[in-house]
A = this chain, B = another copy of it.
């Protein structure tokens, strides 16, 4: 087991990574205050792992809530079910919520924990690659609104993250590839050596080689831990973690939540960021193609949906949280492994990228 620490003063917490961790009561009980625990999971993950986590909790008053699976259910309505359950159970401020599932369950449970009685503890048990390397770490929580991704939410740090790499054994291939998009993101945005390592080790990751996956997860969490510790509230460097996300959110929102997986949209979004950076003369065509090649090799889509028109795509992007006072800010490349958040790009180049990627 590898344990990393997110250093945020009194809100610091450990990330445990390794096989067999779901059956380790000590990791859970060390993070729980009070006697009341609500595990929130979804209909896909619950049959696989819920009983194991419940068993590890022993004598706690452990209750469970199983929500529907999919980004289309990351809504205020679904969130309300968590509040209803907590109040029916008469759980008080000293209760602990456990998010058992992927990014959707983690984001919703985290926001419920942020807002129930103005804040209770929660533990992240991410069971997808995407959640293990990205969404479970760093305290971003929230739900979608029909007009935009993650528009309603809070920063609320978990008290522990437990990433059991065994849970990836049951992950569908499509979900594994979606997770690899976020893994590749870390290489592209800040760590060229890791990008090269990914080029060399992609087949091992796709074949779910345990050691290779574990190395990648720990490495990504280490990067994220450092970025979050430096910039918890995304005033600066943390925004770089959104490489590909403004393009990606446009695809997710435009196609209807759940049609594309988040990681798939981010994969295409990173291709578009590389393409725009190339059009602006920031990186070479060779580098652009090299970035796209790795994303392609991971089995991720490298074209946006042709059903989204240029105007619609632009309108969707202008709704992103990275917009400030009408100015669209994008994470663009200085080189592979080095990115900046900037509004310094011309509209014509952005439109050209969108046209190229949405062409039928």
Contacts and interface: CB of A to CB of B under 8 A. Distances in A.
A155 B119 contact: yes
Interface in A78-92: 80, 83-84, 87-88, 90, 92
A224 interface: no
Interface of A is mostly: mixed
Given A87-B151, A145-B87, A319-B87, A324 B118 contact: no
B92 A325 contact: yes
A233 B326 CA distance: 34
Question: How many copies of this chain does the complex contain?
Answer: 2
A12 interface: no
A188 to B, nearest CB: 24
A35 interface: yes
A326 B174 CA distance: 45
Nearest to A320: B92
Contacts of A119: 154-155, 233
B145 A83 contact: yes
Interface stretch (A109-117, A254-262, A287-295): A109-117
B324 A114 contact: no
A147 interface: yes
24 contacts: A36-B325, A76-B80, A83-B145, A83-B152, A84-B145, A84-B147, A87-B145, A90-B318, A90-B323, A92-B321, A92-B325, A92-B326, A93-B324, A111-B115, A114-B154, A115-B152, A115-B153, A116-B151, A116-B152, A117-B153, A118-B142, A118-B154, A119-B155, A154-B154
Interface of A: 34-36, 76, 80, 83-84, 87-88, 90, 92-94, 111, 114-119, 140, 142, 145, 147-148, 150-155, 233, 318-319, 321, 323-326
